[in-house]
Amino acid sequence: MGNKQILVVDDEIGIRELLSEILFDEGYQVHLAENAAQARAYRLEREPDMVLLDIWMPEVDGIALLKEWVEQDLLTMPVVMMSGHGTIETAVEATRIGAVDFLEKPIALQKLLSTIAKTIKEGAHKPPMQHAEERSQKITLDIDGQMLPFSLPLDLPLREAREHFDALYFDYHLRKETGNVSRVADKVGLERTHLYRKLKQLGIKFVKKGSEDRQQ
């Protein structure tokens, strides 16, 4: 297992350090990220053998990051979610999106190690939409000169497929408007309060800065 690489994403430094020490002692190569931004940057550069991803993080949470990786065809490694405040509904949502397992904090050592060993042994995880070409329509969008890959799942119930489309639609416009929610609201023809609710429902985060709203 010496060359197996695990990315640990958690905003709590104590959790990151503890997991790093445990996994290093077990012979894994460990990489740490304290937020979604660092995890994104790492994933764009390389593909770990698996990811331990905390759900409750400031700014962009684990569920939103998981959705983002699915939409950009970057969920090519198994992801195990972690949470100290998890519910059955949260675990079900995470596995529906593409996570392979769910660990509740505080995590028992034996449970942690057995889950990691099982996950890595089963190999790279491919979301269902990536197993067959007909399950998704792959598209590339030009956003300010940067070509970004996305996929739209077509072999899903209409309600779930629409959620994917809505997330892609608003993410596209937020990127085009550099995260300015007010300009996006004007462009797509929605009241700002309605747009806020929609973004929250889709797990798209934003912050308010003065009179402007910015995507996180």
* Same domain for 61 and 78: yes
* Same domain for 109 and 85: yes
Question: What's the pLDDT at 126?
Answer: 45
Question: What's the pLDDT at 130?
Answer: 42
Which one-letter amino acid corresponds to residue 193? T
Residue ending a domain, among 126, 160, 190, is 126
Beta bridge partners of 104: 83
Give the number of domains in the chain: 2
pTM of the predicted structure, to 2 decimals: 0.60
94 vs 33, 69, 79, 178, CA distance in Å? Answer: 19, 13, 10, 28
- List the single range of 49-63, 96-110, 152-166 with lowest mean pLDDT: 152-166
* Same domain for 94 and 15: yes
The residue range of the domain holding 209 is: 130-215
Question: What's the pLDDT at 73?
Answer: 87
* Same domain for 68 and 135: no
Which one-letter amino acid corresponds to residue 174? L
Domain of 107, CATH number, reads 3.40.50.2300
* Same domain for 70 and 14: yes
* Same domain for 105 and 55: yes
* Same domain for 181 and 141: yes
Rounded Cα gap, residues 202 and 176, in angstroms: 18
- List the single range of 14-23, 79-88, 201-210 with lowest mean pLDDT: 201-210
Rounded Cα gap, residues 147 and 139, in angstroms: 10
Matching residue, tokens 């593409």: 98
Looking at the predicted structure, is the pLDDT value of residue 206 above 90?
no
Find out whether 91 and 102 touch, Cβ atoms under 8 Å.
yes
* Same domain for 73 and 14: yes
* Same domain for 110 and 210: no
Matching residue, tokens 């596209």: 172
Residue ending a domain, among 106, 126, 146, is 126
Residue ending a domain, among 63, 91, 126, is 126
Matching residue, tokens 């609201």: 185
- The SS3 call for residue 6 is strand
Query: Across the chain, where does the E strand assignment appear?
Result: 5-9, 29-33, 50-54, 79-83, 101-104, 136-143, 146-153, 206-209, 212-215
Looking at the predicted structure, is the pLDDT value of residue 106 above 70?
yes
**Residue range 71-99, pLDDT digits in tens:** 888 999 999 999 887 666 777 788 888 89
Looking at the predicted structure, is the pLDDT value of residue 208 above 60?
no
Domain of 197, CATH number, reads 1.10.10.60
CB atoms within 10 A of CB 174: 22
At residue 87, φ and ψ (nearest 5 deg) are -125, 165
* Same domain for 119 and 16: yes
Secondary element (H or E) of residue 36: helix 36-45
* Same domain for 65 and 19: yes
Rounded Cα gap, residues 158 and 114, in angstroms: 37
